[in-house]
Amino acid sequence: MIQEELKRLGLNEINEGTSTGQNWFSNGEILESYSPADGQLIGKVKASTKEDYEKAIASAQEAFKTWRATPAPLRGEIVRQFGEKLRAYKADLGKLVSYEMGKSYQEGLGEVQEMIDICDFAVGQSRQLYGLTMHSERPGHRMYEQYHPLGIVGVISAFNFPVAVWSWNAALAWVCGDVVVWKPSEKTPLCGVACQKIIQEVLKENNLPEGISVLINGDYKIGELMSKDTRVPLVSATGSTRMGKIVAQEVAARLGKSLLELGGNNAIIVTPDSDLKMTVIGAVFGAVGTAGQRCTSTRRLIIHESIYDKVKDAIVAAYGQLRIGNPLDQNNHVGPLIDKDAVNTYLAALDKVKEQGGNIVVEGGVLEGAGYESGCYVKPAIAEVKNELEIVQHETFAPILYLIKYSGDVENAIELQNGVAQGLSSAIMTNNLREAEKFLSAAGSDCGIANVNIGTSGAEIGGAFGGEKETGGGRESGSDAWKIYMRRQTNTINYTTNLPLAQGIKFDL
């Protein structure tokens, strides 16, 4: 357990009905949070009912009246203060992320650092919400575009990044003048409560309404309420493609906006001109980091036939050095899956690999014995497969790496890489400039992220994050991703005493 960290985060008294920093208590079913690291109960919170949801929306609506009128640089100052609080709480929050979700402590710290980084980015963005000025065809007229806040931004986040993805959305939405209603994963509710308490500290210290940031714990029913709610103009949802399609249809039915970050089936192409050491590091971390539970995890390794055996042997040897165990022990490389349902999905996928003709190179399985009492620890597995196998075409959120052989030119490898329904992250390992540029061209990778000589896993705050096809097409974090959180308005000002019409139309009275 991590009692001291919970205490410092204000979670030492988490129980049935503990407040999440808001002025009301939730009244729904009890959500129990068990750590996949050791199977221990961390704490309990109550889910939100429909009535609780209405209170949350009402609080957000009222806060929006104040927040939208606050100058953007001042909104940025609040986000800056939030980033400073995160720096102070980094070690404790990082450990909670690790313990409740199961990723390594270093990855937990890295996730909180992503939160800090997006705050820094958003602070600068608060002074750069630029519009455009255009010349009018009518004399004595001026035209320009400006951006205004949308209102309530609904965020539905997934368990694998229980705090970072919310912050990507929230930091930008806040500087844009929006308020945020957040439904974290019911598998990691305490991470959500901890973040809510931190931002509420900042809001209270600045005499700002708590509805600027609202937390609503619960299952898919809360997501359904949010998706159908016309008072929530934008819903940002991260999770499976199946979930994203449901959210997209519900939001589109009311002509709302959705930002979707869904499944990935990410590949690294390994050409004869690749650096073997770099390839092994990128592929192994991409495949086993977070126990294969990243949307950018490496699922497929597409290797040229001339170096296939050499690369395969090196990857298999690296897997033999992996240490699997408690994620709070920094000597371990791989922690547990999130729960036993995830374990069953992993085992079912390995069975399908065998049924569909794949060859298991590194056997998987569930680990048992001392240190593995939670039943959520599994062995990272490797299989030789054909790209067209049904199981390969789908994302399995677990540490299973598929080795695929290609022949001929890099175009053949790119065709294999693009030959799946998902389009999130991709990479090529090569020192051949022509191959690299081909991969990055319009005829190359069809993914939202395309890397050269680094793996598929991970992303920097400065670049827009997201993917194409069944990944959803959304973009979060850096670049001009802020625009999704605002509505664009075109303005025309006539500063004359006449009223000429556009296109030279005459309308004399």
The residues carrying an active-site annotation are 261
Residue 234: strand pairing partners = 153, 257
Name the burial class of residue 375, with classes exposed (0-12), middle (13-18) and buried (19+) by CB atoms within 10 angstroms of its CB: middle
Residue entry with tokens 């054909």: 386
Rounded-to-integer distance, Cα 116 and Cα 307, Å: 41
- Within 10 angstroms of residue 384's Cβ, the number of other Cβ atoms is 16
CA distances from 332 to 9, 291, 364, 381 (A): 25, 11, 18, 17
HSE at residue 383, side-chain half, CA atoms within 13 A, is: 26
**Burial of 74 by CB count in 10 Å (0-12 exposed, 13-18 middle, 19+ buried)?**
exposed
Query: What are the CA-CA distances from residue 171 to residues 62, 81, 327, 399, 498 (Å)?
Result: 19, 11, 28, 31, 45
| C-alpha 302: how far from chain center | 25
- Report helix, strand or coil for 299: strand
The count of other CB atoms within 10 Å of the CB of residue 351 is: 11
Run of H or E residues at 453? none
End-to-end CA distance of the chain: 81
Contact 183, 213 (CB under 8 A): no
Cβ neighbors of 425 (< 8 A, separation 6 or more) are: 264, 266, 295, 296, 447, 448, 449, 450, 451, 456, 457, 459, 467
Gap between the Cα atoms of 452 and 435, Å rounded: 10
Q: H or E element: which one contains 135?
A: strand 132-135
